[in-house]
Amino acid sequence: MKKLLALTSLALVFTLGLTACGSTSDNGGEGSDLPVASVGLVTDTGGINDKSFNQGSWEGVEEFVAANEGVESGYLETQQDSDILPNLDTSAARYQVVVAPGFKFSEGIAVSAKQNPETSYVILDATPTEGDAEVTLENVASILFREEQAGYLAGIVAAKTTKSDTIGFIGGIPVPAVMNFAAGYVQGAKSVNPDIKVDVQYANSFTDTTIGKQKASAMYASGMDIIFVAAGGVGTGVIEQAKELTTQGTEAWVIGVDRDQYADGEYGDGKSVILTSAVKHVGAAVNQTLNAIKDGNAPFGQVQTLGISEDAVGLPAENPNITDQETLDLIASETEKMKAGEVTVKTNADFPVQDAKIY
């Protein structure tokens, strides 16, 4: 019987695990009468606690599981890129639905989905590919996000807050999702101040905290007071550097990514170096998709692109470090204009932002 998963609301919860690097919750599974009896998550090399994309996706799985009694779930962490296909296949052998967050899964999921036609797959930030070609598979649902819209709002906040009129962006690996964040960030900042300078750099990693700290140190030392980091685990190093400088009396802000990272930036008395975060509601998207599969409305063979109109991207509902009412009003105004189509933010394809350049 074909294993299905459905997409209905923007909220998701699930847990997956298979080996010593994973975690499992056995509440249902094979043989269960549940529409979705089991869900497994495979992380990329950033791990389940990356405080970013993997963690947010897992929270979505957990939400789904909490709302659907008896569902088995777990996650499997990828240690190196060569583990991706084996991890997908291992998960497919155990779970009805396999969730894969990140572009690194695009080729592996195309292979695994063909080898396991009775398993349902959900891939975020990418589509199944064979070589350079995108392929459509009837057991794969693809979810993309309009990161440029969240980046645009982050750029507005940065431009309204900076005292130096020079701000930074540190990306992980220059893949479309990260580059779209950068493109939106530059456009948003320039919409407030056309003369502002935005230094764009890439770490070429999503895990190297040391390079994140080094790049942040150099940026802050050069006079920048705000850095937007869209780089997974690399961001941990950026946040650490900002905390050190802040406790020494130097103003150093960070704009987080994917999820509200305010708590990650706390350094005492509830204060945080996180100015705001460019949020992608990946957990909600996962939950929505799992519910759709459960209800028989799964978007298999489709690519869904979710943005601010679907409340899939934006800034956190609460931003304790944004106290200027003019800034808050501008964020609200620009958000509504984007929803109404009055403001269009270009993706990196139409507004290319490159490494090691100042815009």
Task: Tell me: pLDDT of 59 over 80.
Answer: yes
With b for 16 or more beta-carbon neighbours within 10 A and e for fewer, the 196-222 pattern comes to bbbbbbbbebbbbbebbbebbbebbee
HEC string for 248-263: CCCCCEEEEEECCCHH
pLDDT at 24: 52
The structure's pTM equals 0.86
pLDDT digits (tens, 9 = 90+) for 142-193: 999 999 999 999 999 999 999 999 999 999 999 999 999 999 999 999 999 9
Cα dihedral 354, 187, 328, 281 sign: negative
CA distance 74 to 97: 11
Q: Mean pLDDT in the chain?
A: 90
- The tens digit of pLDDT for each residue in 73-104 reads 999 999 999 999 999 999 999 999 999 999 99
Using pLDDT thresholds of 50, 70 and 90, give the confidence band for residue 31: very low
Mean pLDDT of the 323-346 span:
97
pLDDT at 269: 87
Q: Tokens 């249902």 sit at which residue?
A: 28
Does the pLDDT of residue 26 top 60, yes or no? no
DSSP 308: G
Does 43 have pLDDT greater than 70? yes
Across 20-24, 237-241, 267-271, which has the greatest mean pLDDT? Answer: 237-241
pLDDT at 53 over 90: no
- Does the structure show a pLDDT above 70 at 210? yes
Mean pLDDT of 135-139: 96
The strand pairing partners of 277, in sequence order, are 256
Q: What's the pLDDT at 271?
A: 96
Residue 225 reports pLDDT greater than 90: yes
Express as a percent the part of the chain with pLDDT over 90: 85
All domains of the chain in start order, with CATH: 22-146+282-308 (3.40.50.2300), 147-279+314-358 (3.40.50.2300)
> How confident is the model at residue 204, as a pLDDT?
96
Within 8 A by CB and 6+ apart from 165, the residues are 193, 195, 196, 197
Q: What is the pLDDT of residue 22?
A: 54
